[in-house]
Structure 1
Amino acid sequence: MDDKEKQPVIRTDSEVSRDTGSVGSQDRPTRLPVEITDKGYALGEKIGSGGYATVYKATCSKMPDKQLACKYFDLTNNQQIVWREKCLKNELKIVRKHKHQHIVRTYDVFKTSHHAYIFMDFLANGSIGDYLERKKRPIDEKRAKKWSHDMLEALVYLHSKGVAHRDIKPDNIMLDNDFSDALLTDFGFSCCLTNNPSDRLMKGTICGTPIYSAPEVLSLAEGMAYDAKQADMYSMGVTLFEMLDYDKPFGNSVEKTMDYVSKQINRKYKFKKDVSLVAQSLCNSLLEPKPDKRMTSSAALEHNWFK
């Protein structure tokens, strides 16, 4: 059975599935703000939930041919004030402003004093993480090459605009309806520069998913900072390794952080599957433990694997 015939189990992007709170247990909002209904939007069944948001299928009478999803945030939880002031503020700003063919398209963003709503494309084939879970084997190299190229194009665009994603992983890379294109989603941990986008994006906050995080993020000392753009590239390397090998390069958990960092710094990984040397070369360049020697997004896009 090929991919078009096999219907996946639908999950949502990582922020929605991350178990960090209680918001995900809520029911569908019974009444939408008038500015939302005036634009023709309506919510359907719940398809995912987590610590900060719940995702619903959605429709819009003005776009009857579009399958939509709505990421809904309840802002009344006082325990989430810090997240609301930093992470949500950045996410809403980024999805409003930045559009790219390999970023899940956002149509409208609404925020009230108590709620926020992001209306975006619904992609029924799920994420690369879902794809790996269904197949239980590596992604064939031709397909992995295409999807990786798509992600690097998205990262080149974001990095050129002074934006770092900070949670690159298979669960945050969605697949279009015919499995041809990959699209980046979930900007809940993203950060951006307010001055010159070409500057290094130095951040002092540990965030993202540890098993995909760069060693400089996991070992961050108080008062120090890291280049978030280059940290994105390390996460892209872990993601690429998993696509090509099915297993993660340094194991499936981060139980002892400094032991895990030691494996990263000493490059304690090995491809167990048949992966071309040129693909391994790109992966090795992305998994460079020293940020200043790690490939940038634009350099990775020019790698020989893509030629």
Structure 2
Amino acid sequence: MPFYQPNQTKPPTKEDLNEKSKQIEQSVSAAETLKGDNNFLNYIIRKEQVLFCGIYSQIFACHNHQEPDSTLICRMFQVNAGIDPVNDLYLKILRFIGRKCPNIIGTFDIFYDQTRRIYLFQELANRGNCLEYLKAGTFVEPTQAIRWAYSIWNAMDFLGNCGVSHRSIRPKHIMLKTNPLSGTLIAKLGSFRDAIIYWNRETESVVNVKKFPWCEIKFANFQAPESFTKIEDTNDAKETFDPIMADVWSFGATFFYIISRQYPFDLYKSNDIATIEQEIKNRINTTTALNDDAKRWFVDLLNVDPNKRTKFDDIIQDTWFRSQIN
């Protein structure tokens, strides 16, 4: 059980979460490039090998002499990205995770220079992200998708034990790479730009998150239906949601999309929660890519009521799910 629940017998305890969330919050986001006690000079950034170029950042191939067996990238965030190299939570979480979890894209180092430009060194996902993989026309067998789902569940398990909720689980953030030993594709969780610390040390309880405007539900952002409110002025709205249960819905929606190539409900006809609930059930039950046991698993995962949704620990206890990963 990675996420805290009252009266649970397994970790994490309140004490565990207090300590880990404190470590993250009180850490520094990045190290200075000019300090002599760091690893920055061991990295060779191959600026002629541009893997991505955007408004706020670029990604380059790179190499580290001390990591000869690792294929790396350097993501260089420009100053206009607005990332604070000392206090940014996104970078703090990445540094804390580092390479501790094999199911999460590994972060080797994070630095910033005198101009406050950020250098993020991570492992390369040589097959890109899952959304790109699907857009290339590749069909993913349900068994393969569920094995990937198990990897992402383990990533979420690790995060939950650290007091972190990902908050942006979607196909674009499922990274694929080739296993060097077997040649099979493995999935890892990436992109922590929206991640939060779900634990409040002062109240020793899960932090509830303010809901988004209902108009944002019109986008395929894989957020749980309860994440949205129809109250027009969200600055005054007091409606909140549980980020842990919302991540469970996003997990289910992501893998339903990977298998069926469908979003769980019609984004342009989503007038209310009742409409969404019926649409989810219809789409799951009419897809030909799933058998009856798989459909039941997805219906429970994508329940619009978070109190009736499958609990995180129960996801992998399902008989059908276990039959797919064994």
Q: Contact conserved, 2:200 with 2:207, CA < 8 A, in 1?
A: no
Which of residues 254, 273, 278 in structure 1 aligns to 2:293? 278
* 1:155–1:297 CA contact under 8 A, matched in 2: no
Q: Mapping of 1:83-232 within 5 angstroms?
A: 84=83, 89-98=88-97, 99-112=100-113, 114-137=116-139, 139-177=140-178, 178-192=183-197, 193=199, 195=201, 199-204=205-210, 206=212, 210-211=219-220, 212-219=222-229, 221=231, 222-232=237-247
- What is the TM-score normalised by the length of structure 1? 0.76
C-alpha displacement of 1:206: 3.7
What is the alpha-carbon distance in structure 1 between the residues aligned to residue 138 and residue 123 of structure 2? Answer: 27
Could you tell me how far apart the structure 2 residues matched to 1:238 and 1:180 are?
21
Taking structure 2 as the reference length, what is the TM-score of the superposition?
Answer: 0.72
Give the deviation of 1:298 after TM superposition: 1.7
Give the RMSD, CA atoms, in angstroms.
2.9
Q: Partner letter of residue 94 of structure 1? A: I
Aligned residues: 266
Identity %: 22
Look up the equivalent residue of 1:65 and give its one-letter code: D
The 5 A counterparts of 1:231-250 are: 231-250=246-265
Q: Does 1:55 align with 2:59?
A: yes
- Using the alignment, how far apart are the partners of 2:109 and 2:202 within structure 1? 27
- Cα deviations across residues 190-249 of structure 1 (Å, max 9, x unaligned)? 001352898423112649994211111132742222111111111111111112212222
Give the 3-state SS of the residue equivalent to 1:55 in structure 2: strand
2-structure distance, mates of 1:196, 1:100: 28
- Aligned mates of 2:55, 2:124 — CA distance in 1: 20
Cα distance in 2 between the residues matched to 1:237 and 1:260: 20
Q: In structure 2, what is the Cα distance between the partners aligned to 1:132 and 1:260?
A: 29
Note if 1:259 corresponds to 2:262.
Answer: no
Q: Could you say what secondary structure the match of 2:294 adopts? A: helix
Mapped contact 1:159–1:197 kept (Cα < 8 A): no
Contact 2:164-2:195 at 8 Å conserved across structures: yes
Q: Relative to structure 2, which stretch is displaced further, 209-218 or 224-233?
A: 209-218
Unaligned runs of 5+ in 2: 1-31, 232-236
Distance change >3 Å, CA 125–CA 46, structure 1 → 2: same
Aligned mates of 1:284, 1:196 — CA distance in 2: 36
Alignment match, 2:69: 65
Give the stretch that moved more between structures: 197-206 or 180-189.
197-206
1:69 touches 1:121 (CA, 8 Å); kept in 2? yes
Larger Rg: 2
Q: Which amino acid aligns with 2:289?
A: D
